[in-house]
Amino acid sequence: MLAASPSRAAEVTTGSSVPAPAARRTSVVKADPLTGRLVRSVIVSARPQPKAPSADVNAIVEKAAKTHSVDPLLVHSIIQVESNYDSRAVSNKGAQGLMQLTPSTARMLGVSDSFDPQQNIEAGVKYLKYLKDLYKDDRLALAAYNAGPGAVDKYKQVPPYAETRNYVEKVGKRYGDALRAADAAKPAPVPQRANDTTPAEIKPAAVETFIDENGRPHLKTIQ
């Protein structure tokens, strides 16, 4: 079974909502050319800061999410973790673009250029919707997006892969943060005063016409 991105390089997963250290340390062991002895060294490289989506990417996400009935906040959370909004991102396993489509998944979804944000997001959201409908569980859908449906079907749960479990946690936390931020941004309801009368509380009175003993017409209000 296909996965959108079966393995991520460290450089394309730095958008996680899990706080990341300021720098990435990589331990490298090499043979000293003079003595032949193994020497361990540590390479320190800075992590890129989380990026914000462009207006164009926002528009593409909104349209694709609406088309496939997926929460755009979830899509943004996946893109942030997958590529940090870098449309040219490539993982060490060859997953490409904003939503990190593998070449096989891209072909399955009819994508001709995974680095084109429009094609990449549309296909990624379509695939995500398929997984959500398949598993009826966002955690399993995210796990399948990362490791492939075959892995989820095998274990009947989030697979016991450190990368996949970390991925599900990071996307889930970012999505939760996004939901809380969106809820907090909503305008507070205007409190209604006790003596306020709303239009719904005003009922129109009925009017009846009658003729008195002198033959004159009158209007009478019926409560």
Evaluate whether 89 touches 97 at the Cβ level (below 8 Å): yes
pLDDT of residue 50: 77
- pLDDT tens-digit map of 94-140: 999 999 999 999 999 999 999 999 999 999 999 999 999 999 999 99
Quick check: is 192 in a domain? no
Domain count, the chain: 1
- pLDDT confidence of residue 153: 98
Known catalytic residues are: 82
User: Could you state, in chain order, the average pLDDT of each consecutive group of 10 residues for the chain (223 residues)?
Assistant: 51 34 54 70 59 96 98 98 98 96 96 98 98 98 97 97 98 97 87 61 56 64 57
* Residue 198 counted as domain residue: no
Considering the domain boundaries, does residue 61 fall inside one? Answer: yes
pLDDT at 14: 31
Domain extent at residue 172: 10-16+24-184
Percent pLDDT > 90 in the chain is 60
Q: Report the pLDDT value the prediction gives residue 92, as an integer from 0 to 100.
A: 93
Residue 58 lies in a domain: yes
Instruction: Give the CATH number for residue 60.
Output: 1.10.530.10
pLDDT on residue 17:
34
pLDDT score for 190: 74
With respect to residue 36, please indicate whether it lies within any of the assigned structural domains: yes
